[in-house]
Each structure stands twice: as C-alpha cells, then as structure tokens.
Amino acid sequence: MGNVEEPQNSNISSVPQLADAAAGLNLYDTASHAVSPFKPIRPGHVGIYVCGATVQSSPHIGHIRAAVAFDIVRRWMLRLGYDVTFVRNVTDIDDKILDKAAAAGQQWWARAYYYEREFTRAYDTLGVLPPTVEPRATGHIPDMVELIERIIRNGHAYVVRDSDGNPTGNVYFDVASWPHYGELTHQKQGAVEADEAAAVADRMGPSVDAAGNDKYNPIDPADASPDKHDPRDFALWKAPKDTDPQDARWATPFGVGRPGWHIECSAMSHRYLGEAFDIHGGGLDLRFPHHENEMAQTRAAGWNSAARWMHSAWVTAKGEKMSKSLGNGLSVPAVLAEHSAWVVRYALGSVQYRSMLEWSDQTLAEAQAAYERVSNFIDRAGSALGEQPERDEISAIGADDLPQDFVAAMNNDINVSGATAAIFSAIRDGNAVLSQVQGALDDATRAQVRATLVAVRAMLDTLGLDPLADPWAIAAVDGENSKAGKALDALISAQLEARQQARAAKDFATADAIRDSLAAAGILIEDAPTGSTWSLK
C-alpha cells in the first residue's frame, strides 16, 4: 500500500446523527487508569488506530482475540451513530520476518505477503469488519524518515556516527530528553501505579524500571547496542545486519537501514488520522515498550497522539499467555477445523476486552451451547412468524432502539458479559411467549415476537454474531438459506406427513413413535389446526 493513500471516510464535513445513548458511553484509558466519558475530538466522528499483525507466520487465537475485541468496540461505535475511521496496520518488515524467511529459503516480502493473506482470511472467517485503511509498514518509509527528522530537529533523537563522522544508519530516541516518558504506563522513577491488568503485564514482561528480556517480545538487538546514550533509549532507525537482503534496506539522510518497530505506528496513524485521534488500541503486551515508546516519539515530534489508549487482555492457556514462543499457540486454521467460526468468535469475544480469557475445552463448549440457544430461538421465532426480518432492517436498528440493559452494558466500557446476559434474557422471554401460543399468532403476539426477534438479532449483530449475517449464514427457519437446511426440512416434512397419515388412520402408536423419535433428535413439533410445524429445540 502506497504512502499516498488516504482513508476512505464518509463525508467528514458533516456531523452524523448520534443516538441519545452515545452520551452515556464510558471507556477505560490506560494512561489515566480510569473509566471516563468518551468525547470524540471531532463531533460525530471517531478515529481508531489498532496495532495489527507482524506477519511472520500463521495467526493464532491470541492474535485474533485483539482483532475481535476492537471489532466489537467499532461495531458499538457504529451502532451509536458515529462515523468511524478504523486503521489497522500490517508490520511486513521485521527481524523475525527476515530471519524466518532466510531460514526457509524465501524472499522476505513473499513470506510477509503470504502470512498477511492468511491473517486476512482469519479476520474474514471470524466476521471481523475490514478496516477503513490497512497500511503496510514498507509502504510508508518516507513518512517514517520525515518523522524521525522532526524528532531529531526537536532535540529528542540522535544519529550514531562512525569514527569518521559518517552516519551509521542507527538513530535512537533520547529518553532522557523527554520528561514525560513513562506516563502511559505510570512507571516513572521507580514508582509503579497500575491497575490489576497492567500489574499482570508488568509481572510477565519488562517495565520502565525493571528493564530486561521480555519472553513474549524479545529485545531488539538494535536496542541492546552499546552506542546508546541511555539503556532506555530505543531505535527509530536501524543499520542493517550483515544477513539482511539488499531489498530490505533504504537509504536515508542518517544512513542505510530499516525502520525500528515503534516508529511505523506513529507514522501511519498520523498519515491516516492526523495529529490527534480518539483511540489507539492493541494487545496488553504492547503497552510497554511499544506503546510507551510510540506515545513518546509521536509527542516529541510535536503531535498529540491518541486521546485514549485501550488494551485488550491476553488469551491464556492454563494461566500462561498464548504465544508461539512458548509453544502453546493454537493456530486459527487448527481451531476452525474442529469448531465453527461462529463458536470461535463467540468464545473470543465472550468476556470484556480487558479481562483475561482462559482458552479451554469448556470455553468452546459454552460457546457451542450459546450457539444452539441463539439459533434455536431465531429459528423458532422465524417459524412462528413465517419469515425472518431482512438484514437491512437489523443493521438499521440504532442503539436507542435496543434493550436498555444491553445498552447500559455496552456503554459500561464494552461490558460484553453484561450485553450477552441481556441477549439471553430477551431470548428467554421470547421463548416463554412462543411456548404459550396455541395455533396461529394473533396480531399483538406476532408484533411482540417480531420485536423480540429483531432486538435479539440486532444485539447479536452489534457483537458480530447475528447468525443470519455474513459470514455465518446459518439455515433459516424454512431451510431456504442452505442446501443442508433444505434437505433437513424435506426429511422432517416427510416424517410429519407420515405422522399425519398415521393419526388419520387412528394409528396413534405410530404417530407417537414418530413424534418421540423427532424429539429425541432435538426437533420440537407443534400441532395447529392448519397443520404441524417443526423447530429446533
């Protein structure tokens, strides 16, 4: 992606009509360690930058959890009526990419692109909305060079030179020159003030005050250089290693080399969101050093950076962060081979984004049970109505038209657990109404059932889980949405016809046997003067 691409927003000169509920949105901010009212920089518009993947190898569940978490944040913003510009970058130049490509006999850029596509397939399969812009680091080298030059001019970075005074290609941020360093993570001069999630991150990784090797993100060799003025200084630009290919090097005023990890996000967020934007997101393990360094260098360049920093917690396996480096990473293709994409997405988004998510068989079993409850109600309600509301109607439902308990939960720092409870409460009420119906629905009951069905699907859609939306597209009530649904409907209809013939012949033993066998298979039969209908329990 070239560095001249601009975000494809809707009309940014207009102010969208917001839901009244938008005034009640409260979000956590890592920098303040507090939940506070959300107020966008520009009325009606929200700019979000989320750190994307370093495309070195296949995505695992830990990677995708962050994508799902911020997809839900974005979807709620849209439901509130905001115009959202969502930027998610791709890190396609990195020591890990270069080293793994060399070991596999690949071109580094070919490896990066291959795994970028694999990440995209995972996002698409799990219903993550495509970003407004998805810039690659290699497409924004001029932006990075210009940014580094700004930081140098402002006195907050230095170029390492050789004995003859020539630039070596190494440029470091001068932490001592920036008194605000450490403000994001509240780690300054030995005093650590952190919330519970941040404290976990500090125990499991490095901090400003306790520098050391991070088993999740090993220290960049450039950051271990003896040329640094201060151990805390970090690389903005790096001289190439002897093993780096020639096409992984760029000529700059401060020498040939390639970008440091942190500089790319500052450059790309500024390119697409400007000098100030609303939310910067990423995984909890990025808060230090990546986001601390990013905030420092962005502000040292004279820009404002993000107004709010949000971090999604980890997926853990037996209490340990899921990570390839620890050997417990579960690849997305492997998980999807055993579980439906809807179930995997539900499991990944089943708790609030700031809560650690323990990945286990029980987590997936609970997600499967949730799927069955959801799909059975939607199927049953649609069958009673004789139709399913169109997708356009579901997507048009604004936050003010959703149940209040759902809105309150989502406005409370995207409390997905509370939102899910609201969904199942509505399903329970809807099933209770349907269970009392004898025969055809009267107008009042029809309106009640339909309103509940629309509300349930709209709430699910806000979480990216409406089963009748892409990419899920489960079979609708009458099976018209899939070949499997049509086949199932044909088989059950034949059974119902045989049961009807048995009843007409007063062979009630056969009729009851057919009913019982269908019930044992999870098929609910409802008899009415107009005939018998079926639904999944």
Q: Which single residue is written with the structure tokens 């220290």?
A: 219
Torsion sign over Cα 79, 365, 356, 273 = negative
Phi first, then psi: give them for residue 486, nearest 5 degrees: -65, -45
**Contact predicate 281/48, CB 8 Å:** yes
As given in the structure block, the two tokens for residue 325 are: 């480096």
265 is in an annotated binding site: yes
Strand ranges (E), 96-180: 157-161, 167-173
How far apart are alpha carbons 75 and 464 in whole angstroms? Answer: 8
How far apart are alpha carbons 314 and 65 in whole angstroms? Answer: 8
Number of CB atoms found within 10 A of residue 149's CB: 16
Torsion sign over Cα 472, 474, 477, 480 = positive
Strand order through the sheet with 234-238: 157-161, 167-173, 234-238, 258-259
For residue 180, what are the CA distances in angstroms to 6, 75, 146, 209, 454? 31, 33, 22, 14, 49
Which residues fall within 8 angstroms of residue 27, CB to CB, at 6 or more apart? 35, 36, 38, 279, 308, 310, 413, 414
As given in the structure block, the two tokens for residue 145 are: 């060079």
Number of CB atoms found within 10 A of residue 116's CB: 18
Which residues fall within 8 angstroms of residue 82, CB to CB, at 6 or more apart? 16, 18, 22, 40, 44, 45, 46
324 is in an annotated binding site: yes
51 is in an annotated binding site: yes
How far apart are alpha carbons 125 and 473 in whole angstroms? Answer: 12
For residue 416, what are the CA distances in angstroms to 266, 309, 419, 426? 30, 19, 5, 15
C-alpha triplet 135, 140, 141: angle, nearest 5°: 150
**Contact predicate 36/27, CB 8 Å:** yes
- Residues annotated in a binding site: 51, 265, 290, 294, 324
- Residues annotated in a binding site for Zn(2+): 51, 265, 290, 294
- Residues annotated in a binding site for ATP: 324
